[in-house]
Amino acid sequence: MSDVIQSYGSMIPPHSDGQRNRQESHAGLPWRTLVVSVVIFAVTVFIYVGMAFGFEQYLNRQIAAQTQQLDQLTSGMNQAQQKTSLNFYSQLYNIGTLQKSRVDITPFFTALESHTPSGVVLTGAKLEILRGQKVQLTGTAASFDSVLASAASWRGDVQNVAGVSLDTMGTAAGALGIGKTFSMGVTFTPSAFQSSVH
């Protein structure tokens, strides 16, 4: 026992290399965290100072320059020219707004053609785009099956059609003999008539 104490110089046995490295790495971790935190804080302060005293001043100078140019432009024009210019740019703005929100009804005619089977003749279509995008179709058909086939075709177009209702169905004598009359409501989805031009 005394030999062990003399060889180590202590009652506590020495640590192996793995334990020593682990302790050293744990001892350095708080310092590394503190250094990273200080660096992040310094970068944040630098960015804030740059934005507050550099970029903000630049923006203020740009606003002042644009305001001065606008004042020079308006002072060089008389009242009539200012009114004409304002009306012109107002019209351009309104045309652009209308162009972006215009309703494109060409898909409606394509849909009418594809969802009207042979034996069905449409006699009227009332389009109410601004109120729920609903179309009221009236027509005649050779049989009720043709009318039901047309309604089923409309219902199958789930991308453009939100709902279909058969409002009236009846029989009537016409030039071609006794036929079936119908009234059908087709409600389109909001995106069905949106213009693709923006």
Domain end marker among 87, 102, 117: 102
Q: What is the mean pLDDT of residues 104-127?
A: 81
Distances (CA, A) of 126 to 66, 86, 177: 52, 39, 26
For the segment 39-84, what is each residue's pLDDT rounded down to a tens digit?
Answer: 999 999 999 998 888 888 899 999 999 999 888 877 777 888 888 8
Structural domain boundaries, residue 27:
1-102
For the segment 22-45, what is each residue's pLDDT rounded down to a tens digit?
Answer: 555 555 678 888 899 999 999 999
Residues 112 and 122: beta-carbon distance below 8 Å: yes
In-domain check, residue 193: no
13 versus 103: the higher-pLDDT residue is: 103
In-domain check, residue 195: no
Residues 3 and 89 in one domain: yes
In whole numbers, what is the pLDDT of the chain averaged over residues?
Answer: 79
Domain end marker among 46, 77, 102: 102
Residues 155 and 96 in one domain: no
In total, the chain counts a number of residues equal to 198
The domain total for the chain is 2
